[in-house]
Every structure is written in C-alpha cells, then in structure tokens.
Amino acid sequence: MKGTEILRIVDAIHRDKSIDQNIVFEGIEQAIASAARKHFGEEEEVEVAIDRVSGDAAVSVAGKALDADEIGDLLGRIAAQTAKQVMIQKIREAERDSLHDEYTQLRGQIVNGQIARIEGGGTAAVNLGKVEAILPRGEQIPGEQHHVGERVRSVVMEVRKAGSRVKIILSRNHPELVRRLFEIEIPEVAEHVIEVRSLSREAGYRSKVAVSCYDPKIDCVGACVGVRGARIRNIVEELAGERIDIVRWNDSLQVLVPNALQPAEVEDVILCPQLGKVIVLVQDDQLSLAIGKKGQNVRLASKLVGWDIQVLTQERLDVQIDKSLAGFTQVPHITDELAENLVAQGFFTFDELSIIEPDQLAEMGGLTEEQVDVIVAYADVESLKAEKQEKEDRDRRRKAAALGEVAESNKASAPPETTEAAKPEGDDSESDKTSSPEGESAAESTPESESEAATTDDAPAAEEVAETPVADAKTDSEMEVKIEETESAASAVEVEVAEETKPVEAAAEATETETSEESSESDATSEADSAEPEIVEETPAGSSEGRS
C-alpha cells in the first residue's frame, strides 16, 4: 500500500466525518495489526507504525521488519476484509465520539429540527441533520400536537453514548427555551444590552421573565415587547400561545416582589430573612388576583425572586398573629416576649419553629441548650399532629366530594318518576277522570303486563301494593325508585283507608238526592260511577284500552 493512498484516505475521512486525522491513522494501524495477527498467528508480537507525513507503513513481526512486498502479500483478500471491518468499527466509534462532543457543547442551546416520525406514547423523533434526536412526550408542551415534517425548536437537555450511537434528548418545556427564544427574537438580549436576570415557567400556561438593562436610556420591558407586541408575539406563537409576563428586575425585594406579583396591586412587603419568606399584604379584592388560578401567579413569582411568598390580607394576618401567639405561649420555656419576637420574625406555625437554628433561638430568648432542645422537640410533636390533622381533613373533604359526585351521577342517571298511569288519548269517560290516591300508587307500582283487576277490599289492596314485584326493573336505579314508590304508596293507602268510608257515604247520599231531583237515569248513573273509587283505583294502566 502506497503512502500517498493512505494520506488521501485519511484526508477524505477527516473531511467527510469530521474525525481527527490521528484517530484515522490509529484505526489504519490497528487494522493492519489485526490482519498481521490473522496471518502470522495471535501469539506473534506485531507492531505497526504509519508516518504522519509520508503515509508509509512500517510493520515488524517478532522484531523483524517487513518490506513493502511482504506487507502487500500480508494484506490479501481475507486479511483486507478483516482490516476493512476494523476500520469501519473504528470510524463509527470516532464519529460517535465526535457527535457526542459536539452536542455536549450544545447542551442548553436551542436547535432546529424536523419531525421524522411519531413513535408510541407520543414520543417524536427529530432529525437534526447529522443525528436523530428524541423529543419525549413528557418534554413537550402540554396540549401540543406534532406532525411528521413539522419543524420544531427545542433545547438540548441530555447527550449520552448508547452503543455505537449517540442519544440526544430534546425538551420544549424547559425554561431555557424561553431564554434562548428571547436571545433570537430580541437583538438587545443577544447583544447583552438587556439581560434576562431570572425566569420561571409552567410550560403551556404561563411564564415570568425578569429583565434589566445596563443603559438607563433603554426601556428594557418595552424593548422586549416590541412595537405593538411584535417581538413578544413571535415568542408566544412558538410556545403554542403560552402567556409571558415581563417584569422589571430590581435588587431590592421590596420593589421586585410587587413587580413579580403583577398585575395584582401590593400594599406592603414584610421580609422574614431567617425563614427566607416574604409576607405580602394586599386588599381583599386583590387577593385572588395575587394568588392566581390554582396559585399559579404567586408560585411563579416565588420562583422568580427565589423567596417563599405568602399572600395575606391585613385581617388574616392579624388573626394568624393572635393564633400563633396563643400557640407559642403554651410551649415550655417560651415567654410572652419571646413569642412576640418569634412572630415578628415570621414564625407562625410549629413547623417553622421546629426548623429554627438552636443558636438563633437561644440568642433571641436567652435560653440554655437544654431549654432549646425541649422547645424544638415540642414543636416537632405539634407539627406532626398538625400535619396529621390536615391530612385527615383533606381526606375527609376528598371523600365528601367523591360522595357528592356519585350522588349527582345517580340522580342524573335515575329515570323520571311516574306519578300517574298513562291514559289513552280521547278517553273522556268519567271512570278515567275519577281516581283516588290509592289508584295512582297502584298504577305506579303495578307492572304494565299485569291485566287482572285487584279485589275491592281496601286491606288486601294495600297488601297487594306493598308486595308489588320489582324484579322486572331494567336497572338498579329503577328498582330503587320503584321500591321507594311502593313503600310510600303502602303508607299512603294505610292512612287513607281510615278516611275512605266517609267520602263514600257522602257521595252515596249526594247521588240519591241528585237522582230524585233530576230524574235522569243517565246522569244518575254517571254520578254513581264517580262515587265508586275502588273500581278505578284497582284498574291497572295496561287495561286502559279495555275500558275505552
């Protein structure tokens, strides 16, 4: 093999694969050594060296140097195939290492790619040109749907070697994506005239960005928004409509916290350095706006400033102070003065008191080490009790909400109650118009397929109503409704049976009087029918056609 050919091969691989020339030379040396061992035997000591300038190969076996012809004979067809496989493997490893180093430097940077395919579970394979990356479902913006061929922007989250390949994990819900989009869309940010000082994000919903400017003549917030919102609109569209709040950074928490809680108006800010907490006082009408939907606004503001933020009204703060003072004064070795000092420092609960530094507590109250240990131990116990009680209350509320949902579901799925038997259209007979409460209950509880009339005796009628079968109900809900209706009908019959005789006798007397006065046989017959409710009440709904 001529040295010029080796140099040409090395240069071509270096240009095409972006692999260092020394790595290619080492691969060729290993390939020739492998072929020599295959020819002379594995136990032979083979040394191969290629000149980096001329490309000439020097091969020695067991200390004996081989000339060019022997090297040519050495690299026969089979040996050359072995050398080729070794070279391919070496080139692949070198290419993998090169890609790994390249994308490791791009970690946290934004890259452009095209969706190659959508795999199971919503994971998207993104073609980045040299390599294919993975955009997992969990790293996508919630509610976002990708399609094959779509171009996406994402940040490189993780790069690792996987065999002979490089595995690259992308993300679109990481806060760094917002920062990189600001650098792309806003030239002042890219030129570091405007600096993104802090950033908090809940992907797909809302982000807060705190910016500052080194040039006092430039409005950092206005520059980020752009003319008529042109700059920020491009970022919002890239983030699938995610809301972005741009606030002005300030080194003072007294100014930064109200800015972070915008659009809510803040009355006062109380700092609690020992707890890393900020108490924010707002008006009653600003409380829900400051907290935000599901606590989103105050949560993002807390991440933005790096302090815990507690939003209260003045009335709630007063109630909390009184409650904390009453609780702390019950702790052994804590005086009223020390309790007021603890509350002034922002310690409102036993949980906060349990994490106080013993040295600080001893200094605040002039206590000994044993007294401090007693106070901390007492606070730990009370904190666990409060946590347990809170968990029980939360479980109770959850169970109550679940029962309410089940009740609403059952109520919605239950069929409408039937209060009277169906009547055929056009039936004007007095017997259909006249009905008693007993007849209505019997019509509700008696199946439609039953065609026999009940006996005229009242007590057996009540027993028949109470024993009406419900096995033919189609669903459990219908069965329960019918059972309840049957029980109510039976109780109604028992109450009304006692009063049944008087209306019947009065109706009979009225009938005799009207018969003698009117002397009309047809009218008397009609009136007599209305005075006999037993026949109508015991007529089932299914026999309405026979009556008509």
pTM for the whole thing? Answer: 0.62
Distance in angstroms between the alpha carbons of the first and the last residue of the chain: 115
Give yes or no: residues 20 and 84 share one domain: yes
- pLDDT band, very low/low/confident/very high, at 414 (cuts 50, 70, 90): low
pLDDT at site 528: 39
pLDDT at site 73: 63
Give yes or no: residues 87 and 135 share one domain: no
CB atoms within 10 A of CB 500: 15
Tell me which residue has tokens 């994971």: 123
Assign residue 155 the CATH number of its domain: 2.40.50.140
pLDDT at site 139: 92
pLDDT at site 488: 52
pLDDT at site 134: 93
CB-CB contact of 178 with 208 (8 Å): no
Give yes or no: residues 11 and 94 share one domain: yes
- The count of domains in the chain is 3
pLDDT tens-digit readout, 97-134: 888 888 999 999 999 999 999 988 889 999 998 889 99
**Does 322 fall in a domain?**
no
**Does 319 fall in a domain?**
no
CB-CB contact of 152 with 113 (8 Å): yes
Give yes or no: residues 24 and 50 share one domain: yes
Q: What's the CA gap between 189 and 197, in Å, rounded?
A: 11
Query: Is the per-residue pLDDT at 144 higher than 80?
Result: yes
Give yes or no: residues 22 and 40 share one domain: yes
Question: Could you give the percent of the chain with pLDDT greater than 90?
Answer: 32
Assign residue 93 the CATH number of its domain: 3.30.1480.10
pLDDT tens-digit readout, 94-105: 888 888 888 999
Domain termination site, one of 249, 276, 308: 249
**Does 127 fall in a domain?**
yes
Give yes or no: residues 133 and 209 share one domain: no
Query: Is the per-residue pLDDT at 544 higher than 50?
Result: no
Give yes or no: residues 214 and 240 share one domain: yes
**Does 163 fall in a domain?**
yes
Domain termination site, one of 200, 228, 249: 249
pLDDT tens-digit readout, 294-330: 899 999 999 999 999 999 999 999 999 999 898 888 8
Give yes or no: residues 16 and 94 share one domain: yes
- Report CA torsion sign: 95, 98, 100, 106: negative
Give yes or no: residues 11 and 72 share one domain: yes
Domain termination site, one of 49, 69, 99: 99
**Does 435 fall in a domain?**
no
Closest C-alpha to 133, from 101, 171, 179: 171
- pLDDT band, very low/low/confident/very high, at 501 (cuts 50, 70, 90): very low
Give yes or no: residues 115 and 154 share one domain: yes
**Does 525 fall in a domain?**
no
Tell me which residue has tokens 């790994």: 100
Domain that holds residue 62: 3-99
DSSP letter string over 230-262? HHHHHHHHHTTS-EEEEEE--S-HHHHHHHHTT
CB-CB contact of 11 with 51 (8 Å): no
Q: What's the CA gap between 397 and 400, in Å, rounded?
A: 5
- pLDDT band, very low/low/confident/very high, at 457 (cuts 50, 70, 90): very low
Give yes or no: residues 79 and 26 share one domain: yes
Number of residues written out for the chain = 548
Give yes or no: residues 83 and 16 share one domain: yes
**Does 345 fall in a domain?**
no
Q: What's the CA gap between 442 and 418, in Å, rounded?
A: 12
Query: Is the per-residue pLDDT at 543 higher than 60?
Result: no
pLDDT at site 79: 56
Q: Which residues contact 416 (CB under 8 A, 6 or more apart)?
A: none
pLDDT at site 107: 92
Query: Is the per-residue pLDDT at 512 higher than 60?
Result: no
**Does 179 fall in a domain?**
yes
pLDDT at site 290: 93
Tell me which residue has tokens 């994990």: 169
